[in-house]
Structure 1
Amino acid sequence: MRMAALLLLALGSTTPAWAAPERRCGWLHNPTPANWWLQDRDGPWVLSVQGGPEVAGMDGIPDMTTRGWVATNGSYGYGCACFVLETEAASRRVLRVIAAESLPLGRCRGDRALPAP
């Protein structure tokens, strides 16, 4: 019995820190080239930083400027979106973008859990 408990403890410590894919919705920011993050009710999720590595799957997201995009710096700005992400919870790091969709701005404006963009 004791051996089984030790085995379970050892196996539990080798499980990955990332969680199953989850849908996160909030403000999508793209203020300057290659800088992208999603601000949801839990905080920011960095998707891309200029000069740094891009999160896997970012190259496959649809054009997010087609539905309620607010331009604040030329074509750069923010919008409302939902992403399905694989994340590493402990470090709040995005590992992979699985899917993304833009939403009407009213969806984020009406969510009291979100900060103002």
Structure 2
Amino acid sequence: MMIRIAILFAAALGTAAHAETRCGWIDNPTPANWWLVDADGEWTIGMQGGYQAPGMDNMPDFSAGEWVETNGYYGYGCACMNVSTDAASMRITRIRSARSLPLRQCRNDRALPRR
């Protein structure tokens, strides 16, 4: 029995999604709509009335840093995130951690779209 549990545990570890660091523009244009735009494209973090990536509570407090308001309190900022992704659907599947960055860091990154 213990061997069976050990094998199942090892198999579960082998299928766990690996974490990766992604940096770029964080868009939050309206309530519950979140995207990360990095050098690889636009990643869905959350959609109003639908998908929300687990770990949203790990998002940084952008009000304490640099944030461009485009619609009331909603807008965009710059951040690096430690996440798991589904590349086929361009979806962030888990947010492990995130930190806001100065806007200039994203503005100076030639791999990102201009803002």
Which 5+ residue runs of structure 1 have no aligned equivalent? 1-14
Q: Partner residue of 1:33?
A: 31
Q: Partner residue of 1:52?
A: 50
The one-character-per-residue Cα deviations of 1:20-78 (angstroms, maximum 9, x if unpaired) are 21100000000000000000000011111000031100123221232110001110000
Residues in 1 aligned to 2:90 and 2:17: alpha-carbon distance in whole angstroms: 11
Which 5+ residue runs of structure 2 have no aligned equivalent? 1-13
The one-character-per-residue Cα deviations of 1:78-110 (angstroms, maximum 9, x if unpaired) are 010111111122332211000000000000000
Residues in 2 aligned to 1:99 and 1:61: alpha-carbon distance in whole angstroms: 7
SS at match of 2:52: coil
SS at match of 1:65: helix
Letter in 2 for 1:92: M
Q: Which runs of 4+ in 1 moved over 4 A?
A: none
Q: Does 2:53 match 1:82? A: no
Rg larger for: 1
Percent identity, aligned pairs only, is 56
SS at match of 1:108: helix
Q: 8 Å contact 1:55–1:94 — kept in the other structure?
A: yes
TM-score (normalizing by structure 1): 0.80
Deviation at 1:19, TM superposition (A): 5.0
TM-score (normalizing by structure 2): 0.81
Q: Does 2:113 match 1:96? A: no
Residues in 1 aligned to 2:45 and 2:89: alpha-carbon distance in whole angstroms: 14
Residues in 2 aligned to 1:19 and 1:112: alpha-carbon distance in whole angstroms: 29
Q: Partner residue of 2:64?
A: 66
Q: RMSD in angstroms over aligned alpha carbons? A: 1.6
